[in-house]
Each structure stands twice: as C-alpha cells, then as structure tokens.
C-alpha cells in the first residue's frame, strides 16, 4: 500500500515537471523603443548669472567707460580661445540606456595619438536571430579589425564607420574583440566619441586620446638640504634679510637659499649655498618670486618673506613629511607667529559675457587632512609655505602684480593646486620698522595699483566681481 502511494506520487510529480517544461517559454527581450524614452540632453545647461557676495568689488566699474565695450569684445574673443584649449568632446553627457544588449567600455579607454589600439570589452548579448548586425562610428579616427572569419562580413574597415554582420553571434563577438581605434590627427590631449549600434539600441562611449607624459622625478637624497630650497625676494631691506639668513643658518647650515633682489642699489650678499640674483630695479613682488622659483633644483621649495625669522619651531622636516605622505598635495602652509591666514576660494562660473564671481573666505577650511588632524585642506595659505616645485612653476606668479599680491597665486592655481595648512610649523616675524624711508613709498599700494589689479581680474580671470573676505 505504501509502495503504491509512493509510485503514484512520483508519477504525478513527473507529469507536473514535464508539463512545466513544455509550457515554459524563453523570456522575451524587453527593451524600450526610442519612442518610449524621454529626450536626453547632450550637455549640462550653461551656467546662469552668478551672484556677487555682499561687499564684492564689481570689476567693470574699474574700466574706463570709453574703453569698456572694446575691452569686453577682446575678453570674449580670448575666452573662446581659452575654452577651445580646455574643453573636450569628452565633457559631453553620456547615458547608459536601460536593458541594452551592447557591452562596451565606459571609462579608462585611452589611446596614443595616431596609434591603433584594441577597444576592450566590445560585445553583443542578444536573443536568437537569423542574422546579427552591429555598427561602430567615430569622428576623429578610423576603425579596423582583423580579416573576418567565414560567415562574417565587414564593411568600412579603415574608415570612420565599421559594420559587422554574421549569422553566428559567437563569430561576431570574436571579431568585435579584435576591433581597433586609431586617431587620424596628432594632438597631445583630445578625445572622441564612439557610437555602437545594434538594431534600435545605441550606446556612446568615450575615447581619450593622450600623449603620455615623461615622468619628472626628483632625487630626494637623504638630507633636508637635498630636498628643500629656501626662496625669498628682497627690496630695500638688507638689514632684515641678513637677520633672516643668520636664523636660517642657525638651524639649517646647508639648505640652499635663493634670493631675488630688485633693490634700487643692490648690495652684495654672499655665503655658502646662497644664490643672489640681481634684477632690474623695482620689478615687483611676483616677478621676483618667478625668478627665485625658476632656479630651484630640489623637489620642494619653501617661500619666506625677507623679514621672517627661523626659530626652533620652524621644522621644515614636518612639512616634507606631510608632502611625502600625501603625494597629491602641491602646497602646505605653516603659520607666522601663530597666524595661519588660510582661506577658501568660492568660484561660480557665471554667464559667458558677464564672467564669474569669486569670494575669498578668510580663516576657513574644507576639513582636516586625512592622517594629519593638526592640518587642514584649504584653498590658500600664508606667505610661509612649502610647495612642490614643478606644480608651482606650472601655475607661475603673474609679474604684472608689482606690489601687494599673494592670494592671486592661489586664484590662478584654483583647480590645479591641492593646498593644506599645518599651523604647528611656525616661523617668526621681525617687528622692527624698516630703516630705508624709500621702502614705504614703494610698498604701500596707490589707488592706481588697486584699480589695475581689479582690471586684471576682470580680463585675465574672466570675473564679474571679487570679494576679499
């Protein structure tokens, strides 16, 4: 009785399973048709007018009225050239459409200019069909593949559009794995967009075209003197400069020192590991910085004013430690007698004709530097800082700024320089008044100097307004 019951149950289960297999259908491919998809933008909308923070200087008011229109046209023309140099087809918005049967690279596909390079990951994953046909299109290069196997047709090899067709999905995918892209014009940093299509399914993926950089490495050696150069600029303050040099040698006997000097009547500065460069008189603050930094041969340089004073708390090794531990950093500032003078730059691009809005928020930071809680990430730091030499040279110091300038280096480096502030590395400051009466006349900015700086921000930095908070 029990055996008959088991046999009956087995038969029922078998019948159910067979019926399930017979009635079951392969799932159909469900892909949205183009008509079912919403229109997708190709670019983000252009920025609207930016908002000038309260207390901003409106820069166009610094331009003489009879020069404004002509200057505005020149600025607009120059801005278009800037965008041509810095924008790329790779900035276009790309979307992965739902349930696509196409496989393709979405990031990281980089080719050298004029060099055929396999496109990794191309594939088609579709249900059964009598024939499979895909196409690839590019605009700045050509597409090639190996000789097709039997049963696969290829059209457009060596051209901008490549069409592959086969009755075998396996054969088609094998050929797709051998497709290469090559740019047709030399450029050191460009891009292309490849369109990959099967039936109504279309995907677009980026191709970065880049000439590889030669590495530029610095031999750090084993001693601080092979790692860091101290740089400064002096003008009519030899008494303070000599005090600075004595304080440096008290703590760092062999660290190289570079002095840029645009004094009206230069005096001789001598000493071991000191380079003294005489400039034409009164060339200015940033011109001297450019000269001094251009002669640095070490991986890092430290910038100091000529009236600073090294103390037992001026530990350059600490700044080197931070820079070496976090290679992405470009600048690390210390403090001058406890004054960090760190600031954050807030920038809105604004409309193309008006320009952007810049707000310098003093005594602010982004967040603590990972691994170094005493330090913080920010946009700019005090005049006492250590910088990666090659990073600073790429940004440079605008020699048009003759007298009062500091934030402008970090403004020009915004988006390029990663900056941190470490206030536990402290330098002193000489407080005695300057002995040369001519110094004040040159040092204190006149109204014309301030107006010129605003005009420079209007044209060079394409700004509508700036606020120094």
Residue pLDDT, tens place only, 232-290: 999 999 999 999 999 999 999 999 999 999 999 999 998 999 999 999 999 998 999 99
pLDDT in tens, 305-320: 999 999 999 999 999 9
pLDDT in tens, 159-209: 999 999 999 999 999 999 999 999 999 999 999 999 999 999 999 999 999
Above 50 in pLDDT, residue 20? no
State residue 250's pLDDT score.
97
pLDDT in tens, 422-451: 999 999 999 887 777 777 777 666 678 889
List, in sequence order, every residue forming a beta bridge with 421; answer none if it has no partner.
333, 376
Task: State how far the Cα of 278 lies from the Cα of 273, in Å rounded to an integer.
Answer: 16
Residues listed for the chain: 469
**Mean pLDDT score of the chain:** 89
Above 50 in pLDDT, residue 43? yes
Q: At 35, is the pLDDT very low, low, confident or very high (cuts 50, 70, 90)?
A: low
Above 50 in pLDDT, residue 123? yes
State residue 184's pLDDT score.
97
Above 50 in pLDDT, residue 116? yes
Of residues 7 and 64, which shows the higher confidence score? 64
Q: At 364, is the pLDDT very low, low, confident or very high (cuts 50, 70, 90)?
A: very high
Fold of 224-468: Spore Coat Polysaccharide Biosynthesis Protein SpsA; Chain A (3.90.550)
Residue 423: name the closest of 370, 363, 345 by CA.
363
Domain map (residue ranges) of the chain: 113-210, 224-468
């Amino acid at each position: 009785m029990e055996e008959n019951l088991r046999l009956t149950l087995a038969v029922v289960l078998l019948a159910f399973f067979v019926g399930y297999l017979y009635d079951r259908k392969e799932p159909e491919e469900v892909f949205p048709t183009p008509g079912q998809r919403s229109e997708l933008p190709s670019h983000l909308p252009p920025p609207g007018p930016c908002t000038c923070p309260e207390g901003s200087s409106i820069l166009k008011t610094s331009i003489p009225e009879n020069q404004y229109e002509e200057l505005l046209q020149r600025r607009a023309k120059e801005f278009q050239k800037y965008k041509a140099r810095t924008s790329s087809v790779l900035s276009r918005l790309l979307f992965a459409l739902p349930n696509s049967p196409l496989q393709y690279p979405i990031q990281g596909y980089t080719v050298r200019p004029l060099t055929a390079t396999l496109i990794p990951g191309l594939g088609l994953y579709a249900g059964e069909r009598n024939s499979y046909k895909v196409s690839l299109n590019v605009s700045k290069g050509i597409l090639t593949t190996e000789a097709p196997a039997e049963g696969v047709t290829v059209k457009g090899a060596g051209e901008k559009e490549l069409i592959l067709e086969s009755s075998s999905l396996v054969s088609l995918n094998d050929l797709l794995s051998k497709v290469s892209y090559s740019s047709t014009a030399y450029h050191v940093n460009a891009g292309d967009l490849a369109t990959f299509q099967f039936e109504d399914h279309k995907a677009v993926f980026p191709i970065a075209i880049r000439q590889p950089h030669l590495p530029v490495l610095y031999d750090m050696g084993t001693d601080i003197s092979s790692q860091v150069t101290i740089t400064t600029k002096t003008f009519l303050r030899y008494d303070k400069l000599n005090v600075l040099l004595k304080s440096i040698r008290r703590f760092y006997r062999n660290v190289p020192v570079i002095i840029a000097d645009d004094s009206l009547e230069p005096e001789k500065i001598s000493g071991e590991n000191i380079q003294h460069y005489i400039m034409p008189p009164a060339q200015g603050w940033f011109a001297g910085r450019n000269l001094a930094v251009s002669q640095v041969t070490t991986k890092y340089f430290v910038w100091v004013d000529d009236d600073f004073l090294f103390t037992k708390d001026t530990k350059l090794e600490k700044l080197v430690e931070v820079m070496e531990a976090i290679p992405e950093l470009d600048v690390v500032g210390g403090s001058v007698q406890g004054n960090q003078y760190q600031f954050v730059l807030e920038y809105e691009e604004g409309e193309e004709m008006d320009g952007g809005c810049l707000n310098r928020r003093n005594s602010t930071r982004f967040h603590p530097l990972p691994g170094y809680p005493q330090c913080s990430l920010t946009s700019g730091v005090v005049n006492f800082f250590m910088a990666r030499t090659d990073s600073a040279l790429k940004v440079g110091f605008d020699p048009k700024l003759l007298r009062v300038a500091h934030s402008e280096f970090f403004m020009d480096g915004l988006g390029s320089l990663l900056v941190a502030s470490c206030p536990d590395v402290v330098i002193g400051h000489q407080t005695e008044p300057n002995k040369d009466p001519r110094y004040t006349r040159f040092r204190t900015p006149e109204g014309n100097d301030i107006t010129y700086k605003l005009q420079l921000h209007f044209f060079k930095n394409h700004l509508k307004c700036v606020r120094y908070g």
